[in-house]
Structure formats: structure tokens, C-alpha cells
């Protein structure tokens, strides 16, 4: 069973420079396969830093982050990260090429395309899409890759009510044995995600500390 473990993680941004700031401190977490985790907190609280640590993009200044006992930075193939500014991670010219590039030879992209309402956009250029549409393409990429660890950083940001609703339902298609972590400040819209996996967990972050963890 997959387990993501953060052991006494501390992150100092720009460590050892005059611009050093504390991003996370004393974070201890163990996330198990099938869990749906909502991470909520205010601006600058450390939500995105936590997602970056879980993705292996930021190495902890202290402590460790491991997936199945192996340092997370060595496991890029096991991780999907969809960031808020999704445009930065869509690297192919069209929607179809982007999704086909992410899929392996055994995967078909059609279910993900249908689920996220991208049928009419398949041949469109990425640059012609709105921010919300680009976000949906990024999420379709997560559905296509089906990695054991899926991290979504502010997936609701900039989406209208209908798109948010559509997105929450699309997340039901994610593999049930994957760990899905959703970083958000829109708790009411995201709350249904807690009921999608084997177990839901709600984490509050404030000043870089995970202050509260409420299990379903």
C-alpha cells in the first residue's frame, strides 16, 4: 500500500540568505493510499509550499518526505502535480497532443476528455484556451496519468460555479487507491472531495504549521 510520509519537515525559503523565511515547520503527516486530503489555509500560510514538498519540488531544510520509503524527489514518475497557473505545465501545442504526450501506450485519453468536457477543445491550441479551460486540461492530464500520488494546487481558483462543480465530480474518476491532495482556500466547494476516496482528511495550515487535522 502506498504511503506518503512527512517526518518533522521544516522548509526555510532562501535558507542562509538575508531573505530567509520559514515556509513550513514541524510537519508530521502520514497519508495512506486512497485518502482524499484537503489542505486549507489563508494566503501565505504554506499550502503551496506543502504541495511542492509533497511533489519533491522543494527539498525540506530539515526532515524527510518519502513515498513508500523512498525520497519523493526520486519518484517523479509516481507523482502528478497540477499547479494554479496551469499554463506553465502545458507544453504541447494542442489539447490532444498534450494529453497524448502524458498518456502511456496502454491509456486512452477519451474518458478523461469526456469527463472534463474537453471534446470540443481537442484540436484547439493551448494558447487559445481560457484560464479555466487550461485548468481542465491540466486535470485531464492527472486523470490520464493515474499516478499513486496526485496533488492539485488551487484547482478551483478562477473557475465559475458550474466549472467547480464539474471539476469536483471529475475527481471521482481518479484512481481510488491514489492519494489525492487538494490545496484550496475554497472549502465549501471542495468539501465533497473528502467523500470520494476511502478516507477523507482535512488539514488546516497556518503560519507553516499543520494545526488541525480532522478525520471524516
* Residues contributing to the site for another protein (CB under 8 A): 13-14, 16-19, 52, 55, 57-59, 76, 79-81, 83, 85, 87-92, 101-102, 104, 127
Nearer to another protein, 135 or 201 (CB): 135
Nearer to another protein, 76 or 187 (CB): 76
CB of 187 to another protein, least distance (A): 26
The C-alpha atoms of residue 94 and residue 80 are separated, in whole angstroms, by 20
Nearer to another protein, 79 or 140 (CB): 79
Decide: helix, strand or coil at residue 52.
helix
The C-alpha atoms of residue 203 and residue 216 are separated, in whole angstroms, by 11
CB of 191 to another protein, least distance (A): 28
Decide: helix, strand or coil at residue 152.
strand
Do 80 and 111 form a contact (C-beta atoms < 8 A)? no
Tell me which H or E stretch contains 149. strand 149-153
CB of 72 to another protein, least distance (A): 12
Angle between helices 95-102 and 131-145 (to 10 degrees): 30
CB of 199 to another protein, least distance (A): 25
Nearer to another protein, 101 or 172 (CB): 101
Amino acid at each position: 500500500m502506498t504511503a506518503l510520509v512527512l517526518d518533522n519537515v521544516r522548509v526555510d525559503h532562501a535558507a542562509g540568505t538575508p531573505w530567509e523565511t520559514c515556509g513550513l515547520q514541524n510537519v508530521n503527516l502520514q497519508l495512506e493510499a486512497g485518502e482524499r486530503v484537503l489542505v486549507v489555509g489563508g494566503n501565505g500560510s504554506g499550502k503551496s509550499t506543502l504541495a511542492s514538498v509533497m511533489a519533491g519540488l522543494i527539498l525540506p531544510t530539515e526532515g524527510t518526505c518519502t513515498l513508500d520509503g523512498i525520497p519523493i524527489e526520486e519518484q517523479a514518475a509516481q507523482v502528478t502535480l497540477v499547479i494554479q497557473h496551469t499554463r506553465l505545465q502545458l507544453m504541447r501545442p494542442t489539447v490532444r497532443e498534450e494529453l497524448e504526450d502524458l498518456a502511456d501506450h496502454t491509456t486512452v485519453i477519451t474518458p478523461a476528455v469526456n469527463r472534463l468536457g474537453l471534446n470540443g477543445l481537442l484540436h484547439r491550441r493551448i494558447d487559445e484556451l481560457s484560464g479555466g479551460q487550461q485548468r481542465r486540461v491540466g486535470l485531464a492530464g492527472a486523470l490520464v496519468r493515474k499516478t499513486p500520488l496526485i496533488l492539485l494546487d488551487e484547482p478551483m481558483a478562477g473557475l465559475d460555479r458550474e466549472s467547480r462543480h464539474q471539476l469536483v465530480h471529475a475527481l471521482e474518476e481518479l484512481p481510488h487507491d491514489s492519494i489525492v491532495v487538494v490545496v484550496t482556500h475554497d472549502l465549501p466547494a471542495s468539501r465533497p472531495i473528502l467523500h470520494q476516496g476511502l478516507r477523507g482528511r482535512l488539514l488546516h495550515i497556518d503560519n507553516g504549521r499543520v494545526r488541525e487535522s480532522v478525520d471524516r
